[in-house]
Amino acid sequence: MTIKVGDRVPDGTLTEFIETETEACALGPNNFQVADLVKGKKIVVFAVPGAFTPTCSNKHLPGFIQNADAFKGKGVDEIWCVSVNDAFVMGAWGRDQKTDGKVRMLADGSATWTKALGLELDLDARGMGMRSKRYAMVLDDGVVKALNVEAPGKFEVSDAATMLAQC
C-alpha cells in the first residue's frame, strides 16, 4: 500500500552522517527515528533513486539547496533528501553538493522506510538493486499534506518549485 495525502508517515530509522561531533551526536553515522524528527515540524521530504546520479545531482537536489531560504519563509523547518544509499555515501554527496545547513541528507540503506511508504523501485534489471521512486512530500507533524510521485524516468512534479508552491 502506498502512502497518500492525509496519512501519517510510518516510523522508521534513517541515518545521517554527522560532520561535527556534538553532545547529542557523534561524528559519523547517527540513527534517527522518523517519529521523533517529524514531531511538531513542517518538513519537505524528497527522495531520489540514487546519490550522485545525473538528474539527482544536476537538478533535483540543487533546486532544494537553492530554494532553502524560500522554504524557510513558508514555515518549513527542515528539508530532507532521502535515498536508498548508506550514510557514508549520503554524507559525501552532501559535502559535494554543499548541503550543510540547508538539506539533511538521510540514508535509508536497506530501503526499510521506503518500503513502509510503498515507494520502493526495483532496479535489479539495471544493476542498482532496490531503490526509491523519485517523489516529494510535505509533512506537517508527520501527516502528509502533499505528495508528488514521479512516473518512471520523469522529473516533473517533485522539483523544488512545485513543492514550494504546495507549502
| Centroid of chain to Cα 54 | 17
Each domain of the chain, given as residue ranges in start order, spans 7-17+29-166
Q: Is the pLDDT of residue 116 over 70?
A: yes
Per the prediction, the chain carries an average pLDDT of 92
Do the beta carbons of residue 12 and residue 117 sit within 8 Å? no
Q: Is the pLDDT of residue 10 over 70?
A: yes
In contact, 162 and 67? CB cutoff 8 Å = no
C-alpha 16/C-alpha 31 separation (Å) is 7
- Distance CA(11)–CA(38), nearest Å, equals 10
Sheet with 104-107: list strands edge to edge.
28-33, 13-18, 104-107, 78-83, 42-48, 135-140, 143-149
Checking if the pLDDT of 83 tops 80, the result is: yes
Write down the pTM of the prediction. 0.92
Residue 22's pLDDT band, with cuts at 50, 70 and 90, is low
Looking at residues 89-117, what average pLDDT do you find? 95
For the stretch 30-40, pLDDT in tens is 899 999 999 99
Active site residue 25: no
Residue 86 is inside which H or E element, if any? none
Residue 162, classified by CB atoms within 10 Å of its CB into exposed (0-12), middle (13-18) or buried (19+), is middle
Q: What pLDDT, on the 0 to 100 scale, is given for residue 53?
A: 82
Catalytic position from the list 25, 56, 81, 167: 56
d(CA 140, CA 147): 12
Which CATH number fits the domain 7-17+29-166, given the four candidates 2.160.10.10, 3.20.20.140, 3.30.1360.170, 3.40.30.10?
3.40.30.10
What pLDDT score does 21 carry?
Answer: 64
> Cα–Cα–Cα angle for 84, 87, 91, nearest 5°?
110
pLDDT of residue 18: 81
pLDDT (tens digit per residue) in 54-70:
787 888 999 999 999 99
pLDDT at 46 over 90: yes
